């Protein structure tokens, strides 16, 4: 996710440069047929094309709004995980004591229990972000399209692609818990289940009394709720019928736009030519140059059609690359960095040793 106030224009141009060349080529074909081969009938009336462009603009706006809503909802969910994680740690820190204990524990033993619960929560955060980074069939465009693969290779690193989930989790839980968690399908769900079982044991030992046990159990239920909301966004894509039709409509407009604006530029060139012919010094070099430009003014439609096509296509692609906020792209919610930030906060709350360092930013992108 970029932090600069202005997204670097050079990055956008580099990301879309292949399509820019394609749009220039598509704009060049009808002009050659129109001006060089003399096919003056080869154009599309501007009025219906303008109506089509308006409809496509509304469709692209709808998709981008829906994609942003998915992104913003995902960010709010992980904001809830941040707040709930801090609340959980405060409960662990203050609720677990010897007030009702069947056997008095010393400070080191109490600290070990608190550390166990907090580390298991970090393991849950880790398992959840790894599950959210797993590929879905509708997310393959991030790795299948050449521009996206190139951008990902040269500009940022996804930690979940380079470190196995087993290696990331095993330092936070015991060997027995590790085997139990990875014997099941949903590791994050299993870790919350182990937390619940451990709270029950602490209640039976008197280290947590009934009311505090209920509050901490409610917090585990909140983690399940937040996990379920994240999984809902991950496992239900932006409706493919809308995405497919958006893509189709945008390309229909892109293919037609060069044929629609040629006549407008040709007409503008005729007006310039008419004004030049009224001028007295028609034999000057400047006049002949201007006359030549006016006669072939239709060629200016090539860059302008490419510009219009680039704007519509880039907006459509931005919506496409924003609709899946957990797929591991630069426009995602930075759940890896947020998880590390949560880990640092909650481990500092219990005065844990060996606090990890924050993740470093790469090219102004944090994942």
253 touches 312 (CB < 8 A): yes
84 touches 216 (CB < 8 A): no
- CA–CA distance, 354 with 352 (Å, rounded to integer): 7
Which three-class secondary structure state does DSSP give residue 61?
helix
Strand partners, 362: 365
What are the pLDDT digits (tens) for 135-165? 888 876 656 666 666 656 556 677 777 888 8
Alpha-helical segments (H) within 278-334: 285-295, 301-320
What are the pLDDT digits (tens) for 204-235? 999 999 999 999 999 999 999 999 999 999 99
Question: How many C-beta atoms lie closer than 10 Å to residue 319's C-beta?
Answer: 21
Residues present in the chain in total: 367
Q: What is the pLDDT of residue 2?
A: 47
Q: List the chain residues with pLDDT less than 70.
A: 1-8, 140-156, 279-283, 287, 361-367
Query: What pTM was estimated for this model as a whole?
Result: 0.85
Q: What is the pLDDT of residue 102?
A: 87
- Chain centroid to Cα 82, Å, comes to 19
Q: What angle do CA 176, 109, 91 make, to 5 degrees?
A: 85
Q: What is the pLDDT of residue 340?
A: 92
- Torsion, Cα 185 186 189 194, to 10 degrees, reads 40
Burial class from Cβ neighbours inside 10 Å (0-12, 13-18, 19+) for residue 6 reads: exposed
Q: What is the pLDDT of residue 15?
A: 78
Instruction: Compute and round to an integer the Cα radius of gyration of the chain.
Output: 30
Question: How many C-beta atoms lie closer than 10 Å to residue 273's C-beta?
Answer: 16
Q: What is the pLDDT of residue 121?
A: 96
Residue among 15, 270, 278, 269 at smallest CA distance from 149: 15
End-to-end alpha carbon distance in the chain: 7
- CA–CA distance, 158 with 330 (Å, rounded to integer): 9
Cβ neighbors of 166 (< 8 A, separation 6 or more) are: 178, 182
Burial call 85-118: b when 16+ CB within 10 Å, e when fewer: beebbebbbebbeeeebeeebeeeebbebbbbbb
Residue among 23, 74, 77 at smallest CA distance from 223: 77
């Amino acid at each position: 996710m970029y932090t600069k106030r202005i997204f670097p224009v050079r990055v956008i141009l580099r990301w879309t440069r292949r399509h820019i060349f394609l749009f220039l080529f598509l704009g060049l074909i009808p002009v050659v047929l129109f001006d060089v081969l003399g096919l003056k009938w080869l154009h599309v009336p501007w009025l219906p094309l303008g109506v089509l462009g308006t409809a496509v603009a509304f469709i692209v706006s709808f998709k981008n709004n829906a994609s942003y809503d998915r992104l913003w909802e995902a960010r709010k969910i992980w904001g809830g995980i941040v707040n709930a994680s801090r609340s959980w740690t405060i409960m662990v820190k203050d609720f677990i004591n010897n007030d009702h204990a069947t056997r008095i524990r010393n400070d080191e033993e109490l600290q070990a229990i608190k550390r166990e619960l907090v580390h298991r929560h970090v393991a849950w955060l880790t398992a959840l972000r790894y599950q959210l980074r797993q590929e879905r069939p509708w997310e393959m465009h991030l790795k299948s399209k050449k521009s996206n693969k190139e951008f990902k290779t040269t500009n940022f690193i996804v930690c979940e692609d380079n470190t196995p989930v087993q290696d990331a989790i095993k330092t936070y839980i015991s060997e027995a818990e590790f085997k139990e968690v990875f014997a099941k399908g949903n590791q994050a769900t299993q870790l919350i289940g182990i937390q619940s079982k451990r709270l029950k044991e602490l209640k039976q030992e008197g280290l947590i009394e009934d009311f505090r046990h209920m509050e901490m159990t409610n917090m585990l239920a909140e983690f399940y709720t937040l996990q379920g909301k994240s999984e809902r966004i991950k496992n239900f894509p932006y409706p493919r019928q809308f995405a497919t039709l958006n893509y189709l409509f945008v390309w229909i407009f892109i293919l037609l736009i060069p044929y629609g604006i040629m006549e407008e530029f040709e007409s503008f060139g005729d007006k310039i030519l008419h004004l030049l012919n009224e001028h007295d010094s028609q034999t000057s070099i400047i006049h002949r140059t201007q006359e030549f430009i006016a006669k072939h003014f239709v060629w200016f439609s090539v860059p302008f059609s490419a510009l219009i096509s680039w704007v519509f296509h880039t907006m459509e692609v931005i919506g496409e690359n924003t609709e899946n906020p957990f797929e591991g792209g630069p426009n995602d919610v930075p759940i890896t960095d947020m998880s590390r930030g949560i880990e640092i906060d909650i481990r500092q709350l219990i005065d844990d040793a060996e606090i990890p360092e924050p993740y470093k930013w790469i090219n102004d992108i944090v994942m």
